Amino acid sequence: MSLTLRTISREQHLAYIQSLPSASHMQVPAWADVKAEWRSENLGWFDDRTGELVGAGLVLYRQLPKIKRYLAYLPEGPVINWFAPNLQDWIEPMLAHLKQQGAFSVKMGPPVVIRRWDATSIKQGIQNPDVKRLRDIEADHIEPRAFEVADKLRRMGWQQGEDGGAGFGDVQPRYVFQVPLANRSLEEVHKNFNQLWRRNIKKAEKAGVEVVQGGYQDLEEWQRLYEITAVRDHFRPRPLSYFQRMWTALNTEDPNRMRLYFARHNGVNLSAATMLIVGGHVWYSYGASDNIGREVRPSNAMQWRMLRDAYALGATVYDLRGISDSLDETDHLFGLIQFKVGTGGQAAEYLGEWDFPLNKLLHKALDIYMSRR
């Protein structure tokens, strides 16, 4: 198949995303409005034979301080046929185009899963003192074609990013935790939860925890819980304006793109979460909780409700997003994987982020600049 790449309109881009079973929420046109500090462009790949749009990518451009050169970033994209035998015919025109646009370096995150581990294998790994990382456990599912993609990218001159596997902040997580929903009943999903999760869901029900959906006007309450979480977990919270912008941008594009949930007890909100929806893929995106009321297990109740809602929407996967690949119980991120493994889903490893230095000198300068931040 011979291809032509060109800039497309947001409308064309959105129509293409809507024609697919799903795509990353960072590859919908509205994500450009969420990341307002970046310049953006919508790219389209066309089949020369039919003139049909067969791939799309949201590119975010970040300008280097003081010079008119850009880092071009395609988070969890582009949305193309990654297993195409002629992958270079998709990628090379993109590089040429981005160079023309003033990019000195390109970063992308192929949405390709390389390995999956079932919850039972991870639990066994946690109990084994010799196992320190997810990769020390034999994967339950391997995608051989993903290795071919990595091979082709290396041959083209792409370099694999060193994200350390934790993937928090602006670098997208390489390891995520997902609950598959396709061809499963809700009863099966619930049965797959570990005992602690099932007990906690019951406990929350008994205590009268209710889970409700919120709207734009409730984002201030979300922010209150989120900032409590930031202090407790030692991270820098995003400002309220970021979530307001996210809500407005995403739900203007599609009224069901972003949701907000609260778990409350006796009228007091104890935990909250944001949920993102693109086709059959549903993400638990941000979570927050108070330091009080933990004994009534609001977070378990909220996740169970979100999972049921995802199921009702016809989702094929409920994605709990990033985990660290460390299985060391002393690691500060260990609690996160422990909480998510309880859902009985799978850990998935993506190909990670890849860089192509179009200008090696500026790329190196950016590396140094970023490492000092």
Q: What is the CATH number of the domain that holds 357?
A: 3.40.630.30
- For the chain, the domain total comes to 2
Would you say residue 371 has pLDDT above 80? no
Residues of 329-366 as b/e, b for ≥16 C-beta within 10 angstroms? eebebbebbbbbbbbbbbbbbbbbbbbbbbeeebbebb
Residues 97, 202, single domain; the answer is: no
Q: 49: alpha, beta or left, given left = phi > 0 and alpha = psi -120 to 50?
A: alpha
DSSP state of 68: S
Q: Which residues contact 169 (CB under 8 A, 6 or more apart)?
A: none
Tokens of 358: 């179009």
Question: Which two structure tokens, joined as six digits, stand for 261?
Answer: 């949930």
Report d(CA 105, CA 169) in Å as an integer: 20
Residues 51 and 100 in one domain: yes
Rounded CA gap, 37 and 54, in Å?
A: 29
Digit-coded pLDDT (tens) for 239-295 = 999 999 999 999 999 999 999 999 999 999 999 999 999 999 999 999 999 999 999
Determine whether 85 is exposed, middle or buried from the number of CB atoms within 10 Å of its CB (0-12, 13-18, 19+): exposed
pLDDT confidence of residue 264: 98
Split at pLDDT 50, 70, 90, the class of 210 is very high
Helix/strand/coil percent split, the chain, to 5: 40, 30, 35
Distance separating alpha carbons of residues 288 and 290, to the nearest angstrom = 7
Whole-angstrom distance, CA of residue 322 vs CA of residue 25: 14
283 lies in the same domain as 360: no
Whether residue 151 sits in one domain with residue 240:
yes
Phi, psi torsion values for 150, nearest 5 degrees:
-60, -40
Contact 245, 36 (CB under 8 A): yes
Regarding whether 322 and 208 lie in a shared domain, the answer is yes
What is the secondary structure of 213-225 as a DSSP string?
EE-GGGHHHHHHH
Across the chain, what does the average pLDDT equal?
Answer: 94
Nearest to 365 by CA among 159, 103, 161, 64: 64
CA atoms within 13 A on the CB side of 227: 9
The pTM assigned to this predicted structure is 0.94
Give yes or no: residues 14 and 155 share one domain.
Answer: no
Q: Are residues 9 and 101 in the same domain?
A: yes
| pLDDT score of 364 | 82
Based on the fold, state whether residues 105 and 141 are members of the same structural domain.
no
Average pLDDT in the 337-349 region? 96
Check whether residue 332 and residue 199 sit in a common domain.
Answer: yes
Mean pLDDT, residues 109-115 taken together: 97
**For the segment 294-342, what is each residue's pLDDT rounded down to a tens digit?**
999 999 999 999 999 999 999 999 999 999 999 999 988 898 999 999 9
Confidence of residue 361 (pLDDT cuts 50, 70, 90): confident
Q: How far is CA 189 from CA 6, 275, 304, in A?
A: 43, 19, 10
Other beta carbons less than 10 A from residue 192's beta carbon: 19
Nearest to 44 by CA among 28, 56, 32, 54: 56
Q: Do both 81 and 185 map to the same domain?
A: no
Same domain membership, residue 249 and residue 172: yes
Domain extent, residue 55, equals: 3-109+353-371
pLDDT value of position 167: 36
Domain identity same for 315 and 196: yes
Q: pLDDT tens digit string along 44-85?
A: 999 999 999 999 999 999 998 888 899 999 999 999 999 999
